[in-house]
Structure 1
Amino acid sequence: MQMRFTDEEMLTLAEMLSLACWVSSFNQLPGSDFNAERYEAMLDRVLERLSQLGMGKLIEHDPNSDRPRLTKEFEEKSYAFQSYDEMRNATFWEDLMIRLAERDMIRIHGAKKWKSLGEEERRELARSKEERYWTELRTNGFKNIHLLAPKNEG
């Protein structure tokens, strides 16, 4: 099967592959290097083709990876970069809310009991705390979050 892409579609494909490479770079599990390399090799091929199509000004050399990439200027304006940034932001706040609620539930119920519960039971018990943190974090961000050091530690 052969596929033909317009120049604009090739640029979109490069943007999508860049996003896949960014996301895969977080995977530090054994064997992930092989799969990340596959993504990067595909991106290299698409970028090479874009260069042949006269879009070389959108490509630069990444000194850290010693590979070609879309320019930082292009990436910062791209839909993929915006999506990646939104995903990271949403994941951060959601993870923070869940971890704070879980910490509180462990303090209330004890770690042994908490670990003995099933996932659905945990979610149900933590739901009100999660909603409280979600409201607080959405409304005030970090404004009301403070770190209290244990006694004699600062």
Structure 2
Amino acid sequence: MNKPSLQLNDQEMRDLAEMAAMVLALFGTATPENQQARVEQWHKLCVKILGTAKATPSIAPDMEMNPDCGYYFFKRPYLEKAFFEDCLDEFRDSIFWSELVTRLAEQSLMETVGEDTFSRLTEDQRRTRCASMEKALWNECMSHGIDRLVFMLPPEES
């Protein structure tokens, strides 16, 4: 079997290793259901890439072996300034605000129409009816974060 080869300079190897580390970080927080075999394939490939990166002299000082799992990863000081960590932070931040806005809009719709009516709405109907509320909530969150968000707890829970 003819194995493909890839010629990378040190920076390209570093970038590829960061991509592999980013995938592993994502898998550490969320993996698709019913895709375990595919996740394991990707995990194995990422570990292989990181092992190859460790053999690159300019990258080696930024990596170390994790004794718990037996593969290489980037050291904490490197991660604090790594491009892929900025990407992950931005991704997590975006997902947080998007989910918050969607859930708040759906909660508002449910309170407006009642649980019974809400449960009978299709996903498309919910999305359509929540769209303007989501936009308003998105603008609010982007302008003020959660500074003006209020939770109203029942007296027995406060």
> Please, what TM-score do these two structures have when normalized by structure 2?
0.83
C-alpha distance in 2 between matches for 1:104 and 1:64: 45
CA RMSD of aligned residues (A): 2.1
Aligned equivalent of 1:57? 61
Q: Share of identical aligned residues, percent?
A: 23
Q: Secondary structure at the match of 1:143?
A: coil
Query: How many corresponding residue pairs?
Result: 153
1:67 aligns with 2:71: yes
Q: Structure 2 counterpart of 1:6, which letter?
A: N
C-alpha distance in 2 between matches for 1:63 and 1:142: 40
Q: Secondary structure at the match of 1:152?
A: helix
Aligned equivalent of 1:15? 18
Aligned equivalent of 2:102? 98
1:38-53 equivalence runs, <5 A: 38-53=41-56
Shift of 1:74: 2.0
1:116-127 equivalence runs, <5 A: 116-127=120-131
Q: Structure 2 counterpart of 1:27, which letter?
A: T
Per-residue CA deviations over 1:40-83 (Å, capped at 9, x if unaligned) read 32233223222322131011233554432012222222221111
Select which of 66, 79, 86 maps to 2:83.
Answer: 79
Given that residues 105 and 114 in structure 1 are in contact (C-alpha distance below 8 angstroms), is that contact kept between their aligned partners in structure 2? yes
Given that residues 21 and 36 in structure 1 are in contact (C-alpha distance below 8 angstroms), is that contact kept between their aligned partners in structure 2? no
1:27 aligns with 2:13: no
- Listed as ranges, the gaps of 5+ residues in structure 2 are none
C-alpha distance in 2 between matches for 1:30 and 1:120: 25
